[in-house]
């Protein structure tokens, strides 16, 4: 038994799944290779390209209810970032940062021949979508931002402390090792009852409990502690933008969405009354309808 396994057992932590074991039953066509590592990418439907960018500590699974509603109108592509979902975990910290994730997104778009595309970013994915719109606007036709994270304060005190950052990893392992505890933390992102079922929560949890979690944790926390806020120059984003907010969102409140719309040259706001931070799961029909109307997508053939 390794020292890490000993302490994991002592703390009551579940073992992490080996990466190759985690992906063993997945279709091989769902993987691209970038920098010698496997990148998980789902593709559904046909039509105009639509790229889906998930939030922090999530995965392409965030769109499991939305994709079936869009695949009849678009060629929908959704990927997992470094450190999340079924993409192979890097060993170098720089790839976990926003610039590294943005490079990964750009590579997937090129490999899938997607530009110009409609790009949907949820939460942290909204940050990436806006950064992409600034750095390479020719790749994007329009943006859909759902509960987009664009306002960043100072990192909390525990993140700024090297000692507390180290202590945070076993605490994170312990949290992820308990399906019940993990689901309870996740509830903050939901408003509607019955959406975050035990099955849904476990689908999120199992995509995090993969070997490489330690490297992911320390790289991301170090980035938050030292990297500062992303440089978002919203006045430069002149593309059409649909901003969607959940009325009950406590993570990115509607007031933040209103300020985002005011700062963007060509944006309008839709507030969903029955959602919190997880509108693609809480009101997928309303989100899909808004996207179809915003893009002028034709009706699916019967």
Instruction: pLDDT band for 157, please (50, 70, 90 cuts).
Output: confident
Pairing relationship of beta strands 117-122 and 49-53 according to DSSP bridges: parallel
| pLDDT single digits (tens) 268-297 | 999 999 999 999 999 999 999 999 999 997
Per-residue model confidence (pLDDT) at position 3:
40
The span from the CA of 189 to the CA of 146, in Å, is: 13
- Look at residue 8 and tell me whether its pLDDT is greater than 70: no
Per-residue model confidence (pLDDT) at position 12:
54
Region 95-109: what's the mean pLDDT?
Answer: 92
Mean pLDDT of the residues in the chain: 91
| Torsion-angle region of 50 (φ positive above 0: left; ψ -120 to 50: alpha; else: beta) | beta
3-state secondary structure the chain: CCHHHHHHHHHCCCCCECHHHHCCCCCHHHEEEECCEEEEEEEECCCCEEEEECCCCCCHHHHCCCHHHHCCCCEEEEECCCCCCCCCCCCCHHHHCHHHHHHHHHHHHHHCCCCCEEEEEECHHHHHHHHHHHHCHHHEEEEEEECCCCCCCCCCHHHHCHHHHHHHHHHHHHHHCCHHHHHHHHHHHCCCCCCCCHHHHHHHHHHHCECCHHHHHHHHHHHHHHCCCCCCCHHHCCCCEEEEEECCCCCCCHHHHHHHHHHCCCEEEEEECCCCCCHHHHCHHHHHHHHHHHHCCCCCCC
Domain boundaries, the chain: 3-295
- Look at residue 185 and tell me whether its pLDDT is greater than 70: yes
- Look at residue 229 and tell me whether its pLDDT is greater than 80: no
What pTM did the predictor assign? 0.93
Instruction: Quickly count: other Cβ atoms within 10 Å of residue 82's Cβ.
Output: 26
Instruction: pLDDT band for 300, please (50, 70, 90 cuts).
Output: low
| pLDDT single digits (tens) 240-250 | 999 999 999 99
Region 14-22: what's the mean pLDDT?
Answer: 93
Region 110-119: what's the mean pLDDT?
Answer: 95
- Pair 87, 115: CB distance under 8 Å: no
CATH of domain 3-295: 3.40.50.1820
């Amino acid at each position: 038994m390794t020292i890490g396994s000993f302490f994991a057992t002592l703390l009551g932590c579940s073992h992490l799944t080996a990466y190759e074991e985690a992906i063993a039953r997945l279709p091989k066509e769902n993987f691209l290779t970038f920098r010698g590592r496997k990148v998980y990418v789902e593709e559904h439907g046909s039509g105009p390209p639509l790229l889906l960018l998930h939030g922090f500590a999530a995965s392409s699974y965030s769109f499991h209810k939305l994709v079936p509603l869009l695949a009849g109108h678009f060629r929908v592509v959704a990927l997992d970032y470094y450190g999340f979902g079924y993409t192979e975990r890097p060993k170098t910290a720089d790839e976990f940062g926003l610039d590294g994730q943005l490079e990964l997104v750009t590579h997937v778009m090129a490999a899938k021949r997607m530009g110009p595309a409609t790009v949907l970013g949820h939460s942290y994915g909204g940050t990436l979508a806006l950064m992409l719109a600034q750095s390479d606007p020719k790749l994007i036709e329009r943006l859909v931002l759902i509960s987009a994270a664009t306002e960043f304060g100072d990192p909390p005190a525990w993140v700024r402390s090297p000692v507390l950052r180290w202590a945070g990893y076993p605490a994170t392992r312990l949290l992820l090792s308990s399906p019940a505890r993990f689901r309870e933390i996740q509830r903050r992102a939901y408003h509607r009852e019955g959406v975050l079922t035990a099955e849904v929560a476990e689908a999120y949890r199992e995509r995090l409990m993969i070997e490489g979690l330690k490297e992911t944790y320390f790289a991301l926390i170090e980035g938050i502690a030292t990297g500062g806020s992303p440089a978002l120059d919203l006045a430069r984003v002149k593309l059409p933008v649909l901003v969607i907010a959940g009325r009950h969102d406590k993570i990115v409140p509607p007031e933040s969405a209103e300020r985002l719309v005011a700062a963007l040259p060509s944006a309008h706001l839709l507030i969903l009354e029955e959602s919190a931070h997880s509108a693609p799961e809480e009101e997928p029909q309303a989100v899909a309808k808004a996207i179809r109307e915003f893009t002028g997508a034709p009706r699916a053939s019967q």
